[in-house]
Amino acid sequence: MALTKVEKRIRIKRRVRGKISGSAALPRLSVFKSNKEIYAQLVDDKDGKTLVSASSREKGVDAKGTKTEVSAAVGKAIAAKAKAAGIENVVFDRNGFVYHGRVKALADGAREAGLKF
């Protein structure tokens, strides 16, 4: 029996998460996208804590334009919050999503704002 789209994504997610993890010095930039919104958070896996988060639902993020433009704005917002928290380098976790479209726009927005990964 064939796997559904969500089951495939979760399988990919588990495989990737077996290879990468975040720490306080080098947190994991985790991305989640729904049909309407996009979320990003910096996670310290050793302590099990979220250090910084940003989403398209926040008031500080410019949520006008296409979904791709909003994703780039979320990337810039997460990078600004990370800089304020003293974080410059991260490990990118696409969370099983294809590195294309909104996920790529978020990553590019974060890089433009000075986050390194």
Q: Is the predicted pLDDT of residue 63 greater than 80, yes or no?
A: no
d(CA 37, CA 42): 17
Q: State the pTM of this model.
A: 0.90
Cβ contact 113:88 at 8 Å: no
Tokens encoding 4: 């559904």
Q: pLDDT digit string (tens) for 70-115?
A: 999 999 999 999 999 999 999 999 999 999 999 999 999 999 999 9
The length of the chain in residues reads 117
Q: Under CATH, what is the fold of the domain 5-113?
A: Nucleotidyltransferase; domain 5 (3.30.420)
CB count within 10 Å of CB 72 equals 23
Tokens encoding 108: 């590019």
CB count within 10 Å of CB 47 equals 11
